[in-house]
Amino acid sequence: MRDAHSEHFPGPIHQPPLASNVDAIQPHDHEELPHHPKLQHHFDDMAQQVEASTLGMWVFLVTEIMFFGGLFTAYLVYRYINPEGFAEASHHLNVTWGAVNTIVLIVSSLTMALAVRSAQISAPPKTQVAWIGATMLLGATFLGVKAIEYYDKFTHHLVPGPNFHWEGKHPAPAEMFYSLYFCMTGLHAIHMVIGLGIMTVIGFMAWRRTFDADYYTPVEVAGLYWHFVDIVWIFLFPLLYLIGGHFTE
Amino acid sequence: MSDGQGHGAHAHIAPPSMYYKVFAALIVGTVLTVAAAKVDMGPLNNVVMLLIACTKATLVILFFMHVRWGSRLTWIVAMSGFFWLALLFSVLGDYVSRGWVPETMR
């Protein structure tokens, strides 16, 4: 069975043999061909359907890249103007919490990938739900650590606004750094919360035996989203937490 | 599994060992990033940090997000995101080049 599965996706334009091409022009008689209950009528087959869904998700992720890209560009410009101020401000972030959260997200990406794989090999619903649950638990852990960090910043008057207080040499760039810190990590955290919502639905679907080797598109597409959010953090962690590593007063 | 009718969405299924290898590489990359940040290399710190981050992102995209086995159209769409991102970042050229021409604004 494994061999049948190891084939690559066919191209976006599915090319059936010539005889099928003729069939395609004539009205389809769906009653003649047994097809998967999850195959929607506007697709030729399941491969074309999963290809279309994956491509659609990637188009959405491109808009997400540009969404976060705007914030990264703002970071780039302000850091270019105030290199010392940004290093000084970054020095006050807790590298340990940031590193722990990076590891937590990477592990969650692994469990997400294994959740998709468990659906691909028609693993029992319990196995699929277990991987999805593990992913959600790690996502919640990430948000918990983020909450501890935010609480710490509030108590130390590091939230931009009238109560912002900075002892160092560069108060204005530091406030700009923390504005960007809260915008970038905040937008990322919102994506995590949405991700947890998506995974709740996916977990429920998996429990209801929705996914098997023939149909696992929702897990695959949810996985793309989850991995994208992980990638954003892969860049946020060094750019926010690690630029003050060798900062000296 | 396969119904033998050619209706299945049968994509490449990677062995678990591949996922664990990519995972190990991502953890090693994270440890390296934290370690490199503690060494003062001047401007090279940024280069090293971003090279590791880009490598990690590439691994996630190719293997966890299955682009490695995706169609060419998926490749192009995924790459186009980063192409436009590079164009967006080129705005920094404005700030970097200020003052290159004497008697223009700083």
Question: For residues A247 and A87, is the Cβ–Cβ distance under 8 A?
Answer: yes
For the segment B32-49, what is each residue's pLDDT rounded down to a tens digit?
Answer: 999 999 888 888 999 999
**Nearest-by-Cβ selection for A4 from B10, B46, B53:** B10
**pLDDT band of B88, cuts 50, 70, 90:** very high
**Which residue from B minimizes the CA distance to A243?**
B37
User: What pLDDT does residue B3 have?
Assistant: 37
Q: For residue A156, what are the contacts with CB-CB under 8 A and spacing of at least 6?
A: A92
Contact yes or no for B53 and A65 at CB 8 A: no
Question: For residues A89 and A178, is the Cβ–Cβ distance under 8 A?
Answer: yes
**Residue spans per domain, chain A:** 50-241
Chain length of chain B: 106
Question: What CA–CA distance (Å, rounded) separates A125 from A13?
Answer: 32
Question: What CA–CA distance (Å, rounded) separates B65 from A115?
Answer: 12
Residue A224 contacts B, CB cutoff 8 Å:
yes
Q: Which residues of A touch B90 (CB under 8 A)?
A: none
Q: What is the DSSP letter of A163?
A: T
Question: What CA–CA distance (Å, rounded) separates A218 from A229?
Answer: 17
User: What pLDDT does residue A17 have?
Assistant: 53
Question: What CA–CA distance (Å, rounded) separates A108 from B19?
Answer: 12
Determine if residue B103 is left, alpha or beta; phi over 0 gives left, psi from -120 to 50 gives alpha, anything else beta: left
Residue A9 contacts B, CB cutoff 8 Å:
yes
For the segment A188-229, what is each residue's pLDDT rounded down to a tens digit?
Answer: 999 999 999 999 999 999 999 999 998 999 999 999 999 999
Reduce the DSSP state of residue A215 to 3 states and report it. Answer: strand
**pLDDT band of A35, cuts 50, 70, 90:** confident
Question: What CA–CA distance (Å, rounded) separates A189 from A143?
Answer: 7
Buried b (16+ CB within 10 A) or exposed e, A60-92: ebbebbeebbebbbbbbebbeebeebbbbbbbb
The structure tokens 């061909």 sit at A33
Question: What CA–CA distance (Å, rounded) separates A57 from A226?
Answer: 12
CA angle (A70, B53, A174) in 5-degree steps: 55
* Alpha carbon A120 to its chain's center: 20
| CATH superfamily of the A50-241 domain | Cytochrome c oxidase, subunit III, four-helix bundle (1.20.120.80)
The β-bridge partners of A215 are A212
Reduce the DSSP state of residue A212 to 3 states and report it. Answer: strand
Question: What CA–CA distance (Å, rounded) separates A6 from A8?
Answer: 6
- Provide the sign of the torsion angle of the four alpha carbons A43, A56, A198, A214, taken in this order: positive
Question: What CA–CA distance (Å, rounded) separates A54 from A60?
Answer: 10
Mean pLDDT, range B72-77, rounded to an integer:
94
Contact yes or no for B34 and A39 at CB 8 A: no
Asked if this assembly's ipTM is beyond 0.85, the reply is yes
Question: For residues A118 and A127, is the Cβ–Cβ distance under 8 A?
Answer: yes
**Residue spans per domain, chain B:** 16-97
For the segment A179-196, what is each residue's pLDDT rounded down to a tens digit?
Answer: 999 999 999 999 999 999
Question: What CA–CA distance (Å, rounded) separates B14 from A47?
Answer: 17
**pLDDT band of A2, cuts 50, 70, 90:** very low
Amino acid present at A117: R
List B residues 10-69 in contact with A (Cβ-Cβ < 8 A): 10-14, 16, 19-20, 23, 26-27, 30, 33-34, 37-40, 45-46, 49-50, 52-53, 56-57, 60-61, 63-66, 69
**pLDDT band of B7, cuts 50, 70, 90:** very low
